[in-house]
Amino acid sequence: MLKRKDNIRIISGKEKGNTGFVKDVIKNCKIIVKGFHIVKRNIKKSNFNGKSQPGHQIYCEAPIHHSNLAINKSESQKSESKYNLYLKIKYKLRIK
């Protein structure tokens, strides 16, 4: 489960291999990563309270699907998780 301010790594897409921090989580499947997947949005001109504002463009971060991200862990945590996985497999084989 990803949370805000988690350190993550992008594993697929045009930003592949980069690391960043989670800015926001949208419905547990779309994640906005700070500084990555920047898109251009066009804003229409508007008349608000009699004041005319021209149309313009803004740049913002678009969400990335959670399957394209991985939690970026330190080396000690990676080796520990591999060892725990090995123990779980070994234990399951003994039971059968």
User: What are the sequence ranges of the domains in the chain?
Assistant: 7-95
For residue 80, what are the β-bridge partners? none
3-49 tens-digit pLDDT: 788 888 888 888 888 999 999 888 878 889 999 999 999 999 988 88
Q: In CATH, what is the architecture of 7-95?
A: Roll (2.30)
Top pLDDT among 83 and 30 is at: 30
| Residue with token string 């926001």 | 24
- Name the residue among 77, 65, 75 with its Cα closest to residue 33: 65
38-73 tens-digit pLDDT: 999 999 998 888 788 899 999 999 999 888 888 887
Q: Quick one: CA torsion of 22, 69, 63, 34, rounded to 10 degrees?
A: 30
* pLDDT score, position 62: 93
Rounded-to-integer distance, Cα 47 and Cα 11, Å: 44
pLDDT tops 60 at residue 82: no
* pLDDT score, position 95: 44
Cα distances (angstroms) measured from residue 73 to each of 6, 16, 79, 80, 86 = 10, 17, 10, 11, 18
